[in-house]
Structure 1
Amino acid sequence: MKIRGKLVIIGGAVDKGSFTETDLDKNAANNLNFFETGILKRILNESKHKADSRIEVITTASKIPKEIGPEYVKALNYLGAKNVDVLHLDKREMAMQPEYLERLRNADVVMFTGGDQLRLTSILGGTPFHDLMLEKYYNEDFIYAGTSAGAAAASNNMIYQGSSSEALLKGEVKITSGLGLIDGVIIDTHFVQRGRIGRLFQAVVGNPKVLGIGLGEDTGLLIKNNSEMEAIGSGLVILVDGREIKDTNLTQVELGQPISINHLVTHVMSKYDTFDLKTHKMHIQSSQYAEKLQFLSDD
């Protein structure tokens, strides 16, 4: 089944520019890297109608929705988006009301902000809003974009709790069901900055078929057809592949005890690198062997 929608998952702290400053236009030069090549600009370029796409910023995960929502509207407007609004869904009954379903039906892009991913799944999970979003993602030229909590909740399996420092002690990482847009992966965010690699190791060793994705801040993945992943943004994406694990003590130790893992494979992606979820093959865009590979192909 070919999936028509696109998924953009972001590690958090998206650089929207200094929109809290009153002299934004005077300082625009300081943000040119973002405005020209940033993640939100890429979302616009990938959307169905580009600058005319209907975008709904959904603040369900956030505890400060009235503050964070307008920041995204300002950022997207500055990048040329003409049709952006904020959708505050903070109760399950709202996700069942026709007026909000109609807004989703008319949307080309939904942008889920950061916050608490458990709020997202507990408020939206299993509602008509959730069902319609999945239907649009599978069957339409539609983008689900999520940062931080919005990214973590995108997959079938979702990390919702677990300290960074104690993450490789058995039982420290808590996992539940996410929104289910993509299967076969589990996503962690603020990954490099908060030292969360141990959380992802434990998530993967418990089910090695699932590929762990660790997203740095202002870094993300653009995923097409639920398999073709391209790194976007300014930082790193860490992939943890457990399929070749040879041994672990996971089932032998008590809760709270350290976990051992033998032969866990990792990949590090940066901007424009790609990874295919079907073949588990990575392509480095600026490979040091690129000229040699080209020479061999010419022969």
Structure 2
Amino acid sequence: MDIKGKLIIIGGAVDKGSFTEVSFDENVANNLNFFEKGILKRIIDESKHKLDSRIEVITTASTIPLEVGAEYIKAFNYLGANNVDVLHIQKREEAVQQEVLDRIEAADVAVFTGGDQLRLTSILGGTRFHKILLEKYQNEEFIYAGTSAGAAASSGSMIYQGSSKEALLKGEIKITSGLGFIDDVIVDTHFVQRGRIGRLFQAVVTNPMVLGIGLGEDTGLLITGGTKMEAVGSGLVILVDGTQIKNTNLTDVSLGEPISISNLVVHVMSQNDTYNLSNGELIIHGESINEIVD
């Protein structure tokens, strides 16, 4: 299918606990520091009507939606985008209200905040609101942007729990279905800072056809056409490719025992690097040696 929409998934800023951003209420403004590194501006630039695009901020993942929503509006307004509002959907019945559906139908961009991705999938999954989002992403110049929980929930498969410390013990990572904007990938956030490489290793070894994507803080991916991924922001994106795995003891060990993996391939991306999901080609867009010498 020729996908007309774009995904912008971001690694978030601050995390506490198992994949939730409960520390948002301590310092909301600092938790949105990726704005200062150009990712928010990139969302505006990639949108259909630029500064005039209709932007809806969805705070469903957050337990303090009013505070988080206000910070997003402030950040967008600072960059000159003033056609912005917040949708505080906290219950499933609110996701089917006609006023809410009309607003998302009219949106050019939907921004999903951090928090708990299980709140996103359990409250929005399968509703008319969710289906409109998917239809717009597939058929219109529409942007789904998500940070932290919003990024983790964007794919078909979603990590929702699992400690970094015990990530390579069989059964420690919990996976469920996400919102399904992109297939054959699984996303982990706050990646480099929280040392979550083991979580992604286990997620990939259980289903090697799925590409693991680890997003660092203040770092994201712009995905166009459902296949071309460009790294944006100041940090690193880690890709874990399991298609070349030669051997693993995954099915031989008991729950709680260590997992061994042979020939797992890892790529590292930074700003402006691109990766094609169709053919696995990574292009690094760094400075040449001559440019550095000069």
Superposition TM-score, scaled by structure 2 size: 0.91
Max Rg structure: 1
Query: How does 1:215-254 map onto structure 2 within 5 Å?
Result: 215-254=215-254
Give the corresponding residue for 1:71: 71
CA–CA separation in structure 1 for the residues paired with 2:193 and 2:175: 21
Deviation, structure 1 residue 248:
0.3
Secondary structure of the equivalent of 2:156? strand
Q: In 1, are the aligned partners of 2:28 and 2:68 still within 8 Å (CA)?
A: no
Kindly report which structure 2 residues correspond to 1:65-214, keeping only aligned pairs within 5 A, or say none: 65-214=65-214
* CA drift at 1:288: 4.6
Take 2:153 and 2:184, find their aligned partners in 1: how far apart are those partners?
Answer: 13
Structure 1 residue 59 and structure 2 residue 59: aligned?
Answer: yes
Compared with structure 1, are the counterparts of its residues 289 and 253 closer, same or farther at alpha carbon in structure 2 (3 Å cutoff)? farther
Q: Residue type matched to 1:135 in 2? A: E
* Correspondence 1:11 to 2:11: yes
Hey, what's the Cα distance between the residues in 2 that align with 1:53 and 1:288? 37
Q: How many residues align?
A: 277
2:137, 2:144 within 8 Å by CA — same for their partners in 1? yes
Counterpart CA distance in 2 for 1:61 and 1:9 is 15
CA distance in 2, matches of 1:60, 1:121: 10
Residue identity in the other structure for 1:4: K
Partner of 1:24: none
Distance 2:254 2:164 in 1: 19
What amino acid is aligned across from residue 85 of structure 1 in structure 2? D
How far apart are 1:162 and its partner, in Å?
0.3
Cα drift, residue 102 of structure 1: 0.2
Q: Structure 2 unaligned runs (5+)?
A: 15-26
State the AA in 2 paired with 1:48.
K
How many Å apart are 1:13 and its aligned residue?
1.7
Residues 156-212 of structure 1: per-residue CA shift (max 9 Å, x gap) = 000000000000000000000000000010000000011100000000000000000
Residue 295 of structure 1 is matched in structure 2 by none
Contact 2:73 2:84 in 1 (8 A): yes
CA contact (8 A) 1:275 1:283 kept: yes
SS in 1 for 2:85: strand
TM-score, normalised on structure 1?
A: 0.89
Q: CA deviation at 1:290?
A: 9.4
Q: Tell me if structure 1 keeps the 8 A contact 2:39–2:233.
A: yes
Give the aligned CA root-mean-square deviation in angstroms: 1.8
Q: Distance in 1 between matches of 2:263 and 2:206?
A: 14
Structure-2 change in CA distance of 1:281 and 1:287 (3 Å): farther
Counterpart of 1:205 in structure 2: which amino acid? Answer: V
Give the Cα separation in 2 of the matches to 1:190 and 1:91.
27
- 1: CA distance between counterparts of 2:225 and 2:235? 23
Q: Which amino acid aligns with 1:7?
A: L
Deviation at 1:243, TM superposition (A): 0.2
Instruction: Report Cα offsets for 1:32-89 as digits up to 9, x if no partner.
Output: x955x51000000000000000000000000111111100110010011020001000
Contact 2:28–2:67, Cα closer than 8 Å, also in 1: no
Whole-Å separation in 2 of the counterparts to 1:19 and 1:126: 30
Gaps of 5+ in 1: 22-30, 292-299
SS state at 1:275 partner? strand
